[in-house]
């Protein structure tokens, strides 16, 4: 399985890397989640510069695509050239959006009439884009899922793991990242959040 984690300039580190760490737990089974960017380097909202692992055209062929979040999402949402480079197909791909990534999902026309999750800051812009925003961390309908709040990222990753792998794969990755002494309760809570 190839998974693209779309990561733009001004990105929120948690919203890209939490998903990356959970999904790459499956590397021994041949999965690879890759930080996928519109340029060779991007700089985070807190000033950390990272090198892209893949360019945006990788997303079109990926089995799953997660749209990360950041402080420049409203600019990206207005950039028709950049949006045009994100070619996704919910008939053959799982597509998820984290926090302000939901605004891009809406602008790409992929939410339709479904309600969605996003963070508290982005919420007004997602509503303005015509989407009903849920007061909950995670929501999925078919092959589209959205999550709100950085620490809802494990839920989005677990959904991909459960859909493209198995419930056991999702539980194992959540168990790995969970705090020591809270692992069983955390896994149960996260699996309940994604409706498993």
Task: Write out the residues near its own copies by the rule CB under 8 A.
Answer: 12-14, 17-18, 20-21, 24, 27, 33, 35, 46-51, 53, 117-120, 134-138, 147-152, 154-155, 176-183, 186, 193
Task: Compute the distance between CA of residue 57 and CA of residue 8 in angstroms, rounded to an integer.
Answer: 14
Residues 102/105/109/115 CA torsion (nearest 10 deg): -30
For its own copies, which is the closer residue by CB, 63 or 79? 63
For its own copies, which is the closer residue by CB, 113 or 180? 180
Residues 74/64/160/21 CA torsion (nearest 10 deg): -80
Smallest separation, CB 103 to its own copies (Å): 15
Beta pairing partners, 3: 33, 64
Task: Look at residue 83 and give its three-state secondary structure.
Answer: helix
Smallest separation, CB 70 to its own copies (Å): 12
Smallest separation, CB 129 to its own copies (Å): 17
Instruction: Report CA Rg, the chain.
Output: 15
Smallest separation, CB 38 to its own copies (Å): 16
For its own copies, which is the closer residue by CB, 87 or 189? 189
């Amino acid at each position: 399985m190839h998974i693209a984690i779309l990561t733009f300039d001004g990105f929120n580190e948690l919203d890209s890397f939490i998903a990356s760490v959970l999904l790459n737990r499956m590397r021994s089974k041949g999965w690879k989640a890759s930080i996928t960017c519109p340029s060779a380097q991007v700089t985070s909202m807190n000033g950390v510069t990272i090198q892209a692992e893949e360019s945006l055209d990788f997303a079109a062929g990926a089995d799953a695509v997660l749209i990360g979040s950041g402080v420049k999402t409203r600019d990206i949402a207005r950039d028709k050239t950049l949006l045009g480079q994100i070619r996704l197909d919910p008939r053959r791909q799982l597509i998820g959006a984290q926090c302000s990534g939901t605004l891009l999902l809406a602008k790409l026309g992929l939410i339709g009439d479904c309600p969605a999750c996003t963070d508290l800051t982005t919420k007004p812009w997602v509503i303005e884009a015509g989407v009903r925003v849920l007061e909950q961390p995670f929501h999925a309908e078919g092959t589209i899922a959205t999550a709100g709040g950085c620490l809802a990222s494990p839920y989005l990753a677990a959904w991909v793991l459960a859909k493209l792998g198995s419930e056991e794969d999702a539980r194992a990755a959540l168990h790995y990242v969970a705090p020591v002494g809270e692992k069983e309760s955390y896994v149960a809570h996260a699996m309940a959040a994604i409706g498993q």
